Chains A and B, each alone.
Chain A
Amino acid sequence: MDDLYREVIIEHYKNPSYRGSLDPHDISFEDENPLCGDHIRVDLRIDANGIVTEAAFDGHGCAISQASADLLLESIIGKSVDQVKQLKKGDVMDLLGIELGPVRLKCALLPLKILKAGVYGLGEATDDLVEAE
């Protein structure tokens, strides 16, 4: 029962480490899930070697989308922008450690979509950014 709400998810939802904003930042991008109105903004700082040094997110949404954002940002600190561009759905699933149906999958993948749209400098976070490899 309640496998979806593993303690780690509730914990990251209630006490996120990366909630906030970065000013100045090198990349900032926000978008929302039109189905449920979940909204997330991601700010990144990137050093001269193209490495993510700091990251922050803000917005509102369900525990799954917010925990996913926190876990995702934690995982990309120290990674290169190129590595971030390679991230896919499977990476987020590994971070969350849960199985999700099609509706909640959208919540879980929203942060990654927004992160990738940001690093690619796209105007919009689309599903094909995170579809299976």
Chain B
Amino acid sequence: MTFFNVEKIRKEFPILGQEVRSGVPLVYLDSTATAQKPAVVIDAMDNYYRTTNANIHRGVHYLAEKATSEYEAARLKIANFINANKPREIIYTRNTTESINLVAQSWGRSFLKQGDLIILTEMEHHSNLVPWHMLAQEKDLRLEFIPVTEDGELDQVVYDRLLDEGPKLVAFSHMSNVLGTINPAQEIVRKAKLAGAVTLIDGAQSVPHFDVSVKELGVDFLAFSAHKMVGPTGIGVLWGREELLNAMPPFLGGGDMIKKVLLRSFIPNELPYKFEAGTPAIAEAIGFGAAIDFLNSVGMDNIATHEHALVQSALIKLKTIPSLQVLGENAVNRGGVVSFTLAGIHPHDVAQILDQYGIAIRAGHHCAMPLHDKYGIPASSRASFYLYNTEAEVDHLVETLHKVTEMFA
């Protein structure tokens, strides 16, 4: 285990040193929305544009070769990071959302037919709901949902019952971006396979925060975004099993995704290029590679342990506020996210007042409206933690929330 020193880590993130107003240092508790970037990532992208910029793949000149090899080197790093068999199973997309849409539009459209059942869960982000709504409308599919229990966990009894109905796909988030619940993904996938279903994991919140191995999970598709794991915006990944990806038709058509184009037809390129139409986010891919190196140098187990300590301490300290209710408080396995409501105070007001004290949290439905409906609330406040957050920041959050309740008392 490498040594974990949060103060040293903070120094790597230029943005964290600032004051949002004079005398008010930034306390960034919104990494679930997007993570901050270390200097190595910013420098990798800056350096690419200063020294390497060229379009990739078909160039034969010095810069094109260099850009292509850096772009592909990042793909290999990502493949190793999630323990994938082959780099060609890593498809670059724009983000988690696009990755899921790719599966829905390419795999779903080709292999699902009228009346087929898709199992999702009540805790999904809109990005793992709406692509399936769209496909279900088009093809008249059936959607069923694993309910969320009072404790904020997936109801395995109902899941077992749904599996008896012969689902074609089970798609679920590895870790909820609202509740912080870490779902028993390996078990969910194992059962889905026994029932003959294809499986997709929304890893937007898991891949950034703990060690995720597609081999161990046994899953078929994994979607995640670079920007939530200290990488740049504009790039994400769809990992898929090679056999499945090979059987799927292309998603977007254009340059790069073809082997041969005739006037009236085309032959698609091989993996992964078949799914990467047009000039991709080259600098972003290289930045993503630098982000992976950075996370590896800190150690994913260290990150998970650090976040676990912060969130457990936050949960205990938040109990000192009687009017505060944590969503899914009793989930056994949870990551560094706490969503809560304060009686009689709207989350927007909470977030706005915290902002006056330099604390950045998120208020709203966090792109999970059905989950908030389930709890009977329009919105919640969410604090989330990452490798650069400190115990002192947790204390500052709790103290300031006390002030908020006093203001509205």
Residue of B nearest to A7 (CB): B407
Assembly CA distance A61 to B347 (angstroms): 9
Give the most central of A5, A10, A37, A38: most B CB within 10 Å: A37
Residues A37 and B349 in contact in the complex (CB < 8 Å), given A2-B356, A10-B407:
no
CB–CB B379/A4 < 8 A: no
B364 at the interface (CB under 8 A from A): yes
Residue of A nearest to B24 (CB): A1
CB–CB B352/A36 < 8 A: no
CB–CB A37/B378 < 8 A: yes
A117 at the interface (CB under 8 A from B): no
CB–CB A62/B348 < 8 A: yes
Contact of B379 among A1, A14, A37 (CB under 8 A): A37
- Per-residue CB contact flags for chain B residues 367-381 toward chain A (1 = under 8 Å, else 0) read 000000000001100
B363 contacts which chain A residues (CB < 8 A)?
36
CB–CB B349/A14 < 8 A: no
B356 contacts which chain A residues (CB < 8 A)?
1-2, 4
CB–CB B349/A63 < 8 A: yes
A104 at the interface (CB under 8 A from B): yes
Q: How many residues of A contact B (CB 8 A)?
A: 18
A35 at the interface (CB under 8 A from B): yes
Q: How far is the CB of A5 from chain B (nearest CB, A)?
A: 6
A104 contacts which chain B residues (CB < 8 A)?
348, 352
Contact of B353 among A2, A36, A38, A61 (CB under 8 A): A2
A interface secondary structure, majority: mixed
Assembly CA distance A76 to B363 (angstroms): 32
CB–CB B407/A62 < 8 A: no
A64 at the interface (CB under 8 A from B): yes
B345 contacts which chain A residues (CB < 8 A)?
63
- Per-residue CB contact flags for chain A residues 74-116 toward chain B (1 = under 8 Å, else 0) read 0000000000000000000000000000001001000000000
CB–CB A4/B365 < 8 A: no
A4 contacts which chain B residues (CB < 8 A)?
352-353, 356
CB interface residues, B 351-409, toward A, < 8 Å: 352-353, 356-357, 363-365, 378-379, 407-408
CB interface residues, B 333-353, toward A, < 8 Å: 345-349, 352-353
CB–CB A36/B364 < 8 A: yes
A2 contacts which chain B residues (CB < 8 A)?
353, 356, 407
A64 contacts which chain B residues (CB < 8 A)?
348-349, 352
Residues A62 and B353 in contact in the complex (CB < 8 Å), given A2-B407, A36-B379:
no
Assembly CA distance A10 to B378 (angstroms): 20
Assembly CA distance A97 to B283 (angstroms): 46
12 further contact pairs, Cβ within 8 A, besides A14-B408, A61-B348: A2-B407, A4-B353, A5-B353, A36-B363, A36-B365, A36-B379, A37-B364, A39-B378, A62-B346, A62-B349, A63-B346, A104-B348
Instruction: Give chain A's interface residues, CB within 8 Å of chain B.
Output: 1-2, 4-5, 10, 14, 35-39, 60-64, 104, 107
List of 3 A-B pairs having minimum Cβ-Cβ separation, nearest first: A62-B346, A62-B348, A37-B378
**Can you list 16 A-B pairs with a CB-CB distance of less than 8 A?**
A1-B357, A2-B353, A5-B353, A5-B407, A10-B408, A35-B364, A36-B348, A36-B363, A36-B365, A36-B379, A37-B365, A37-B379, A62-B346, A62-B347, A64-B348, A104-B352
Instruction: Give chain B's interface residues, CB within 8 Å of chain A.
Output: 345-349, 352-353, 356-357, 363-365, 378-379, 407-408
